[in-house]
Amino acid sequence: MELKKNPKADIRRNSSLYFAIGLAIVTLVSWRALEWKKYDKTETYDFEMNVDDTLDEEVPMTEQIKTPPPPPPPAAPEVIEVVEDEVEVEETVIESSESSEEDIVEIEDLEVEDFEEDVTVPFAVIEDVPIFPGCESEKGNGAAAIRACFNEMMQKHIRKNFRYPEMAQEMGIQGRVFVQFTIMKDGSIGNIRYRGPDKSLEAEALRIIQKLPNMIPGKQRGRPVKVPFSIPITFKLQ
């Protein structure tokens, strides 16, 4: 006898469908297993602050310091007593500040000291020109003659005492030294100032002026005064 199969009983008919469904379920389960994460439990806090409006303790209020009122002024007396002024007041005598006739000093008794002013008058405008030794004979010829003699004697003095510094000669230094000095009230020479191109030339010019003799001082209104005088000294190599 030949067996016949029922087509509905064939289990291989939908095997591919079942395989696909199973594969999909396995894939979904595997994906969810891989994506699964476990987190630690965190505690949540309520940050809202509940402040009770009512306080358990009573806060004492600051008491106001009350100052006592000032005492009332004393009442005026009903009867005013009149007291006579029996106290004698001594008068203050103001003496005069003017001196008496005995304290007055006569003008004739005062001693007047002569005060000499330290006056300096230029050589060109002084009334009585200083006189260089050797020019005394020119007094009667006027101030112009005395000035001319003064300048001439000054040039003779420079030529007589002139000495060219050896160091300046070796180095070829030459030039002009401007010298200014003052003929004092006693005829001596002072306040010597100089300016030149080299220290050695200045030193030689100073030496020449320091060798000047004492002179008869110049006078203004009959009194001796200081008289400044300037002169250039030329150093020139031949």
Per-residue pLDDT tens listing for the chain (238 residues): 555 556 555 666 677 888 888 888 988 888 888 877 665 555 544 444 444 444 455 545 444 455 667 777 776 656 555 556 555 656 655 565 555 555 555 555 545 555 556 788 898 888 899 999 999 888 888 889 999 999 999 999 999 999 999 999 999 999 999 999 999 999 999 999 999 999 999 999 999 999 999 999 999 988 999 999 999 999 988 7
Task: Check residue 62 and give its pLDDT.
Answer: 47
Q: Could you give the dihedral angle defined by the CA atoms of residues 207, 212, 218 and 223, in that order, rounded to the nearest 10 degrees?
A: 90
- Looking up tokens 């630690």 gives 40
Task: Check residue 22 and give its pLDDT.
Answer: 85
Residues 6+ apart with CB under 8 A from 145: 138
Amino acid at 236: K
Question: What is the CATH T-level fold of the domain 136-235, as seen in this structure?
Answer: 3.30.1150
* 185 and 225 Cβ atoms separated by less than 8 Å: yes
Task: Check residue 59 and give its pLDDT.
Answer: 46
* Distance separating alpha carbons of residues 135 and 146, to the nearest angstrom: 7
Task: Check residue 163 and give its pLDDT.
Answer: 92
Task: Check residue 53 and give its pLDDT.
Answer: 47
Could you give the C-alpha distances from 128 to 50, 145, 152, 163, 180, in angstroms and in order?
118, 12, 18, 33, 20
